[in-house]
A and B are shown apart, each in its own frame.
Chain A
Amino acid sequence: MRKPSIPKRPSELALFVLARLVVAGAAALILVPLAFMLSASFMPASDIVSIPYRWIPDGFRWKNYLQALAGNDGSWLYARNVLNSLVVAGAVAATTVAISASVGYGFAKFRFRGRNLAFMAVMATMMIPFETVMVPLYLVVVRLGLQDSYLGLILPFMASAFGVFLMRQYLLGFPDDIVDAARIDGCSEWRIFRSVVLPSIGPASATLAVLAFRQQWDNLLWPLLVVQREEMKTIPAYIVKFAAEKSADEGAMMAVAVIASLPVFILFTTLSKYFLGGSAVFAAGKE
């Protein structure tokens, strides 16, 4: 790799300067609304719409966060809804990794009749948009009596075709010799999967877990369908209700947004490799 040195040719110098200016400008512009969310979350509503906007709040107005958690009606449901989101997104991440690993392992390391057909059948489901099947899925959940329950929120997302694809690709590169050696040592198939295969798929699991967690953290449509009771709502549904109320205070709205974003931003800063890598892997899977 060359060391960054200032180029001499005029066109290269222009690129050198322009690239830095444009990228820095774009990054700054993109970060402005995030900075706005943070600064406004500490301001009274009257300051948020003051002209010109003052970026540094006069003081830290924790009252916004209290109101965000208490809600406009003082029901304190937001904390419960955040917990619901954590439970649902966490459970979906865990089951997606577990089921995808098992199915991916079966497809990658075993030969059986109908394997290719089964694999194609799973891959084809990637083409089905959730919006097309949401009404039948809703009817299934109603028939099972699972409205307003965690299981109802989790059930349709417990496995993902992309996850199966990712795990299979990853395990195709896993040496057969290790599996065979374990077999010769008398390990049962189940134990081989649990103690030999599972521990070795860390990076793929992390990528998949992050992806699945984020998708459910973001999910609004499905909870709108299956949840009516306020205490079973997840964060996105709570936010819509909170923001639509006439008495909603802009400062409290931004506090709601900050609270909703903290967990994913903590994940992002600690696991950024899997976020950025995950996007690329996800795209590669669609290629």
Chain B
Amino acid sequence: MKRASGMEGKRARWGWVFVAPGLLFFSLFSWYPIVNAFVTSFTNRKLISLKAPKFVGLQNYVRVLSSEDFWNSARATAVFAVGAFVPLLLLSLLFAALIVSLRGWKRPAQMALYSPAVLSSVVAALIWLVVFDPRGLANQALNALFGTPGIDRRWLADATMAQISTIVVYVWKYVGYFTILFVTGMGKIPDAVNEAALIDGAGPFRRFFSITLPLIRPTTVLVSVMILIQCMKTFSTQYLFVQAGAPTGPIEVMTLAIYNTAMRDLAIGRASAMSMLLFAVMLLLSWLQLRASRGGEDAL
């Protein structure tokens, strides 16, 4: 008996040996920085300064929340997130439902839709930068479609169009990714359910709205929150477009604003306050997701 517990103790120590390097890593590169960001958000810390940072209470938060720039970037982020969310969710749901109904060609179709997700975000933005050229493909395609030769839609010059352009890049890049998630979710629905409905004479629409949609509710909730969280973290497309000369204001999303506040204005305290606010919104979203998915389980 004693021997056994001694062996147990030895085994337990080995457990710690395997886990320790990881715990050290997460302490240093996740826990310490988040605590640090939290503390820094209450100081007037500057990036290049010899003076020790002073505790300033809620001053950063007050200043951030009452500044025009912050609300401008909050608006830019919201416009982008909502603008990308709606088409991403609807299109990926539609594509997934149609792909599932295909018998052959499922995999090539998925691979084709997914392929832009393989690219780096910057490469995706770079391709569209050239497509959005005044004489580029985007104008040509729309002018051919509407029979309006020679019209320039100012994709990267106009404020609203710049917002639309970043959304187009994002939807193009990620629609296949979320389609795959829906295909996986729909794959879990037993064939028998659909076949029974088919025998009962339910048409494709009826099957989609009365069977597929209710049964993939957990996936839908998950994908919705994933899209929103991902959209709030968008950076590369906006950064590249701004560097290439697009107007900053309408597409200065929160991540870009944090980056500029820290690296251009060197105001680390204020940047930390902004990043804590972003964190709070994302936590709220994750919490909603958790609640919604739990609720889904209860309903089933």
Contact = CB atoms under 8 A, between A and B. Distances in A.
A18 B203 CA distance: 14
Interface residues of B, number: 106
A106 B144 CA distance: 61
Contact of B176 (A30, A32, A131): A30
A19 interface: yes
A283 B115 contact: no
Nearest to A48: B130
Interface in B259-278: 259, 262-263, 268, 271-272, 275-276, 278
A79 interface: no
Nearest to B184: A280
Given A14-B204, A23-B99, A240-B243, A189 B34 contact: no
B29 A264 contact: no
A132 interface: yes
B116 A136 contact: no
A34 to B, nearest CB: 6
Contact of B118 (A11, A37, A106, A214): A214
Interface string A235-248: 11001100110000
Contacts of A275: 114, 118
B196 interface: no
Contacts of B127: 33-34, 36-37, 254, 257
A3 B28 CA distance: 56
B164 interface: no
A136 B33 CA distance: 5
B263 to A, nearest CB: 7
B55 interface: no
A19 B103 CA distance: 11
A135 B243 contact: no
Contact of B121 (A110, A220, A254): A220
B115 A33 contact: no
Interface string B59-71: 0000000000000
Interface of A is mostly: helix
Interface string A142-181: 0000000000000110110100100000000000000000
B198 to A, nearest CB: 8
A40 interface: yes
A129 interface: yes
Nearest to B109: A23
Nearest to B203: A11
Interface residues of A, number: 101
A76 interface: no
Contacts of B223: 283
A132 B255 contact: no
A121 B31 contact: yes
B129 interface: yes
Contacts of B268: 135, 139
Most chain B beta carbons < 10 A, residue from A11, A112, A161: A112
B160 interface: no
Contacts of A26: 91, 95, 113
A127 B286 CA distance: 8
Given A103-B19, A239-B123, A279-B180, A18 B37 contact: no
Q: Which 9 A-B pairs have the closest CB atoms?
A: A110-B15, A106-B18, A103-B22, A133-B33, A136-B33, A112-B12, A106-B19, A49-B135, A27-B112
Given A135-B258, A158-B25, 15 more contacts: A22-B94, A50-B135, A112-B13, A113-B12, A128-B279, A129-B232, A133-B30, A136-B33, A139-B268, A214-B118, A221-B255, A257-B123, A265-B115, A265-B118, A283-B184
Interface of A: 1-4, 11-12, 14-16, 18-20, 22-24, 26-27, 30-34, 36-37, 40, 48-53, 99-100, 102-103, 105-107, 109-113, 115, 118, 121-122, 125, 127-140, 155-156, 158-159, 161, 164, 189, 193, 214, 217-218, 220-221, 224-225, 235-236, 239-240, 243-244, 250, 253-254, 256-257, 260-261, 264-265, 268, 272, 275-276, 279-280, 283, 286-287
16 contacts: A30-B175, A48-B136, A99-B25, A106-B15, A111-B15, A125-B30, A128-B34, A135-B37, A136-B33, A136-B40, A137-B33, A224-B259, A240-B122, A260-B120, A275-B118, A280-B181
